[in-house]
Structure formats: structure tokens, C-alpha cells
Amino acid sequence: MIHPSEQLDDDVHQRVRLGILALLNNVTRADFAHLKSTLNTSDGNLGRHLRVLEDAGFVDITKVVDGRRPRTWVKITREGRTALRREIEALKEIVAFVEGESDRVRQTGRSLARDSSTA
Amino acid sequence: MLHPTHVERASAREELDALTRLHAEGRRRMASMWFPLTVFGIIYLGVAPLALLIHRNHLAPYFALCLGIGSILTARHYRLRGDVEGVHTRVLPWLLTSIIMTVGGGVASFTGFIIGSEFLDTAGPFLVVASFFLAFALIVHSRLLLADACAMVVLCMVSGWIARGDGRVALQAALYGVLLLGSAWVQRTAERRTA
């Protein structure tokens, strides 16, 4: 049987990258400053994770000049939405898998205790 | 000592919780509708005198014009707000809801006129709007929009006891207008407080 953690995508399964995709999932686009403040991360860290997501084709990055200051807008792609959905499903399966395993362990323990008391 | 599976479950749970929080943040932004509520409120207040001046079945051009202007203004509002806040919300769900809601109201009114049902002709379009508000409230998890939808149904019933025909349409429109402007004010005040 395949463990559900094998379904996790390495490009997505990271706190900041997962946060970026989740934030972008419900909006048209967000800028670098908004992502940085919401995810409570540094410029360098966010830039690095955005590059990973862009290379994987999960986000589109557009750099514009707004007045005199440069601005970076980030948009989730269709592949990004699919990857996020898969990641959420995998995480849910992990929780369900571990809970199911715990139940099995508890039931085995109970039946062993019953057997030993009747013996 | 924790078993590795417990750590894995805790980690997966934490990540799911974090995702839920971020998802809720996006929904909260989508539920921020004080501007379109104000636009709709003004449109409905405009309907009240028009329904008395011209027949209720001649209001389609007014709604079409207002919907066009209102959509442009709302899209512009969200764009400017997005530029300032650094996050552009999705306008399409709101826009589609407004168009389908208005067309649905027109269809209800026309059907009522064709089959000779005064209730459907006068209250139908307003109940269609209430049902769309209810659906949108459930999608974006907004208690304010949910309260609006319930209040709209009550206002339709109350108007039916007070007036009939064009008078009923005018009364319903005026009440809807006041309700929507009130809701917009409540939401705007709440947003300012949390900002």
C-alpha cells in the first residue's frame, strides 16, 4: 500500500510555498509586499520560494513600474491550483490514514487485553 | 516520546489549519462588498419613483443601464483598491451574480406578466434577488449577506400586505434600497474598525 505522504509534491510541500498558493487561490493576483507581510517572511526567503514555484509553473510573476517604484505581481496558474488541491487532498489523507492506524492499534490492544483476561 | 505518526498527523493538521486560515482570508476579501451594495442600494432607490411614474414592466432599460454603469464602477473600485492594498480580488463571481440575478428577476417578472400572476410579476424579481443573496452569502460565508437575504424575504411579504401592483414594486424597491445602503454602511464601518 502506498503511504499518502508519497503524494505530497516537494515543490508545494513547504510552509511558505503552500502559503503563497493558498493566498493566491482566492484572489486574482497579489503583490510581493502583501505576500511578505501576510506570510511573515523576509524578502530573500519569499523571492527564493517564488522562484521555485515559478520554475514549477505554479505561479506567474510580472514586474511593473508603478509610478517610480518597481512592483512585483504574482498570480497562480491553473497548474498551481491543481497542485494545491492535490496537496490538500494528500494532507487530509495523511490525517485520515494516521487516525485509522491509531484506531487499529487501539482495537488490537483491546482485543489482546480481552484475550488475556479470559485466558 | 511521541510516535512518528503522531508528529506526522500533528504536522498535517497544522498545515491544513493554516491553509483554512488563508482560505478564510480570501473569502473575507470576496465578502467585502460595501461598494456594490451601495451601488445596488442606489439603483433600487431609483426604481421606487420610476415604478410609480412608468409601468413596472417598463423598467428593463433602467436596470440594463444601471447594471452596465454599476459594473464598470465596481470593477474600477476593486481595481483601485487592489492597487492600494496589493491584492486584487476576483470581480468575476460578483459580476456574474449581478448579471444572472438581474436577468433572473426580469424573467420572473415577464413570466408573471405572461401567466397573469401578480405575485410573480411584482414580488418575483425581488425574491430572485433574495435567493441570489442567500447563495452568495453561503459561498462567501457572510452573515451580513445572509441577514440581508432573510430581511429581503420578510420585506417582500410585508410589502404585499401594504400595497399592490406598481405601489408594491415601488415599496419593495425603496425598502431594498434602504436595506442595502444600511448593510453597506455596516460593512464599511466594520472594515474601518478592523483596518
Q: Encode chain A (119 residues) as per-residue pLDDT tens digits.
A: 566 666 777 778 888 898 899 889 888 899 999 999 888 899 999 999 999 999 999 999 999 987 778 899 999 999 999 999 988 888 888 888 777 766 766 777 777 677 766 65
| Tally of structural domains, chain A | 1
Do residue B14 and residue B37 come from a single domain? no
Do residue B1 and residue B97 come from a single domain? no
Do residue B74 and residue B159 come from a single domain? yes
**Domain span at B112:** 33-194
From B152's Cα to the closest Cα of chain A, the distance in A is 28
Burial tier of B170 (Cβ tally within 10 Å: 0-12, 13-18, 19+): buried
Do residue B39 and residue B18 come from a single domain? no
- The confidence score (pLDDT) of residue B3 equals 45
Do residue B63 and residue B100 come from a single domain? yes
- The confidence score (pLDDT) of residue A50 equals 95
Question: What sections of A1-119 are H helices per DSSP?
Answer: 15-25, 32-39, 43-55, 78-118
Most B CBs within 10 A among A14, A28, A85, hence the mutation to make, goes to A28
- Digit-coded pLDDT (tens) for B22-40: 777 666 666 678 898 999 9
Higher model confidence: residue B122 or residue A113?
Answer: B122
What ipTM does the predicted assembly reach? Answer: 0.70
Residue B12 near residue A91, CB atoms below 8 Å: yes
Question: Alpha-carbon distance B145 to B43, whole Å?
Answer: 18
- The confidence score (pLDDT) of residue B56 equals 81
| CB within 8 Å: A91 and B29 | no
Q: What CATH number does the domain containing A39 carry? A: 1.10.10.10
**Domain span at A85:** 4-118
Do residue B152 and residue B174 come from a single domain? yes
Do residue B113 and residue B183 come from a single domain? yes
Do residue B45 and residue B25 come from a single domain? no
Q: What band does B1 get if pLDDT is binned at 50, 70 and 90?
A: very low
Do residue B104 and residue B57 come from a single domain? yes
Nearest to B11 by CA among A35, A50, A14, A38: A14
Do residue B137 and residue B53 come from a single domain? yes
Q: What are the percentages of helix, strand and coil residues in chain B, rounded to 5?
A: 90, 0, 10
Nearest to B36 by CA among B74, B67, B68, B92: B74
Q: By the CB < 8 Å criterion, does A66 face chain B?
A: yes
Alpha-carbon torsion (A39, A42, A45, A50), positive or negative: positive
- Digit-coded pLDDT (tens) for B127-185: 999 999 998 888 878 899 999 999 999 999 998 889 888 899 999 999 999 999 999 99
Do residue B82 and residue B173 come from a single domain? yes
Please list the residues that pair with B8 across neighbouring strands: none
Do residue B150 and residue B130 come from a single domain? yes
| Tally of structural domains, chain B | 2
Contacts B27 to A, Cβ<8 Å: 26
CA angle B47, B52, B53 (to 5 degrees): 95
Question: Alpha-carbon distance B25 to B30, whole Å?
Answer: 9
- Digit-coded pLDDT (tens) for B64-108: 898 889 888 988 998 898 888 888 888 887 788 888 888 888 898
